[in-house]
Structure 1
Amino acid sequence: MTSVTSLFDPVEADLAILVDNLKDLVRAQHPVLFAAAEHLFQAGGKRMRPAIVLLLSRALLPDQDLTPRHRRLAEITEMIHTASLLHDDVVDDSGVRRGVPSVHSLFGNRIAIQAGDFLFAQASWYLANLDNLEVVKLLSEVIKDFAEGEIQQGINCFDTSLTLEAYLEKSYYKTASLMANSAKAAGVLSGTSLQVNQDLYAYGRCVGLAFQIVDDILDFTGSTNALGKPACSDLRSGNLTAPVLFAIAEKPYLKVLIDRHLEEEEDLDEAIALVNDSQGIPKSRALAEQFAHQAVHHLDFLPASDSRQALIDLTEYILKRLY
């Protein structure tokens, strides 16, 4: 399978600059907050969100170099994403992130939350300095959506009446909003038309939803080592995802187990077995494929280029993570 590193070859040099700049953007602040944020930056990750911004920017401006504002948008996107991970790990009590100890397990909940708040604030500051009100509105919406997604996830914990539509809405808030709005922001900074900006937004939204659904499938099918976090952690914590929601309709006893919060000793193992014995995972895979194919359609307007091809290949990479 094509690695995500080689997938981003057209912006490899841009991503290297981004990583160096991210460290500079937070270096001058409190050393403990910097250490907490840098720990997560150094843990790596796929850099998918800034890569999408950079690839779209190069695809939209094929005969020009990236402007400092395009680069800064990519950096802001990664800062917002990293801030959300810091908060997520506290809320989910995750001990591992990207295969290394999570920030809150090393520094404590208070520092992890403060580091996340600090990164959100830094991102907002650099966002304001782009001097583009539409881009400010787009990325500010993302920060609001993160909070909305966390609230929805908390309210719907172990709620077997959760609909697929509500699951997709929460997935948009927590994952796809950043990809959709930062993609659209790349278009705004490039001076593209309203229709193009709508296609960019739709591409990011569809990629984000496909990515989240695949992640939710891998929570059942991937190993702890491959995931960088404990397997089946979502179900264990009551976060009901697409495979579970599809399975509940087919396996009534799964609803019984979840309604009692998997409290009995064998409940979690039974629930996992029921999901695996249902059409929950195949139906979730088909849903992810649907969003991935829609994403490609929204790139039809772009002229042929290495960056455009990488954006198309990204949708295939997301789906191939399942195999």
Structure 2
Amino acid sequence: MTTDQQFHRIAVLGAGVMGSGITTLALGSGVSVDLVDVDTRTLDRARSGIRTQLRHAQLLGALPGDRPQGELTTSVSMSGLAHADAVIEAITEDAGLKAKVLGEVSELVRPGTPVISNTSGIPIDELAGAVRRPEDLLGTHFMNPTYLISMVEVIRGPRTGDAVLAATQALLTTLRRKAVVVRDAPGFVTSRLLHPMINDAARIVAEGTATVEDVDTLMQGCLGHPTGPLRTADLIGIDNLVDALDALYERTGEKRNSPCELLREKVRAGELGRKSGRGFYDYGEGIS
């Protein structure tokens, strides 16, 4: 695969928040997508959510108006992966499950096809042992909402090949995204900085030092954080945040990375953020 190859069709595995968001970005950029998930109801919700996100992105001028949209195909089977120009895995942040799925993917795709794990912090080399061709594996960390955030963290594992890295950068250019390539490490750059900060913000609220609103207002007004850490937690998904913090704590041993009790309480209560309708803030009925 060369950097001047046209990306006509990609596969996205996982129809949750991130998988749907990546699919929206690709479709709006003129790239067709095979969206795969094991659950048909999740795929049904994703189709509806993707239509909504595409309308929202178009109203905001966040997607190119001069390209026809790509075609969306949904499936519970990975049998079509052999025809994909790239595969982006965006399933739950579980290293064992990711390794299993990526191993299955690597048996289906053509050699040289980028096999991309979208992860907020699991080291790519931990996953490389599960795939047939480790040189074809690398990581991305798309930010939510993908159609509004123009930069993507790209993680090059120790065994990632030059050709697949270049092809992935070309794909991101097609999606009008700027790639910043970093070396493999737990949490990479963005999660290693952002997630502990959100954890600390939740601790401050739990201790009664300040309200949720005041923490976010101070971070916005004094330190230039665009949304505030706790609104950001709601956007990430508090369950996803807890999973990512657990993974970071397991790999670093740094106590600051261990999710605070307030975050765990919210997960137990089903208050997961925007997608559930309530997290640190109230969003009504929630979104897909």
Name the structure with the higher helix share.
1
Task: Determine which structure has greater relative contact order: mean sequence separation of CA pairs < 8 Å that are 6+ residues apart, divided by chain length.
Answer: 1
Structure 2-normalised TM-score? 0.34
Structure 1-normalised TM-score? 0.32
Q: Say which one has the larger Rg.
A: 1
